[in-house]
Homo-oligomer: A and B are copies of this chain.
């Protein structure tokens, strides 16, 4: 673990929290940050760990998942460079409830709790950035909860495809951002159901499966009316 040296990298990785700050403030933040690397399969933090850092992903991919009361795993999200995690437990003196696992060679920057809180008090505008980010996450989490509560698996899958399409801005071609096993865990279903429902959607003419991860959407509106 050593301080982050490359400003370019920091600029990338700290989007969207710190990118509105002046260079000198950035330098100050960089001084307080540590970096670390993890190999595929390594756990960055466990549920139950006392949490004391904000982790900002520089390079690689991280899988965030939770275990339910009965021990079943659910994928919460996948982090890409520039995303951060660990923020939840930063503001409550408690422990993580989720697991963070590197799923590729991964490099992260870490800012510990006390340093971050000092930064927040010193540069209140950072707070507003984080609040904004939290708002979005909360809205997203509640939307997701409502979907689970009210939609069946087929609809959840269709909505997920629609969101992929929107995110990737690729007209009518999309690439699944994770394995179907992970997708099943993310959508609260099983890999078998994902397979079958995609086959159904294809049968009905809404999509065409090009390859394992590539899907062409033929009738977005029709698909969403299911």
How far is it, in angstroms, between the C-alpha of A163 and the C-alpha of B147 when the chains are bound?
23
Q: For this complex, into which size category does the number of interface residues on chain A fall?
A: 35 or more
The DSSP consensus for interface residues of chain A is helix
Which residues of chain B have C-beta atoms less than 8 A from A159's C-beta? 69
In angstroms, Cα B91 to Cα A150, docked, is: 27
Q: Which residues of B contact A87 (CB under 8 A)?
A: 135
Q: Does A83 sit within 8 A of B, measured CB to CB? A: no
Cβ 8 A contact of A68, one of B72, B120, B150: B150
Do the beta carbons of A98 and B142 come within 8 Å of each other? yes
Contacts of A136 in B (CB 8 A): 92
Partner pick for A124 among B70, B89, B127, B149, CB 8 A cutoff: B127
Which of A120, A146, A150, A188 is the most central at the interface, judged by chain B CB atoms within 10 Å of its CB?
A: A146
Complex CA–CA separation, A90 to B142 (angstroms): 16
In A117-131, the 8 Å CB interface with B consists of: 117, 120-121, 124-125, 127-128, 130-131
Which residues of A approach B to under 8 Å, CB–CB? 66-70, 72-74, 76, 87-92, 97-98, 117, 120-121, 124-125, 127-128, 130-132, 134-139, 141-151, 155, 159, 185, 187-188, 224
Q: List 8 A-B contacts (CB under 8 A).
A: A68-B149, A69-B151, A70-B150, A72-B150, A74-B146, A91-B134, A92-B136, A134-B135
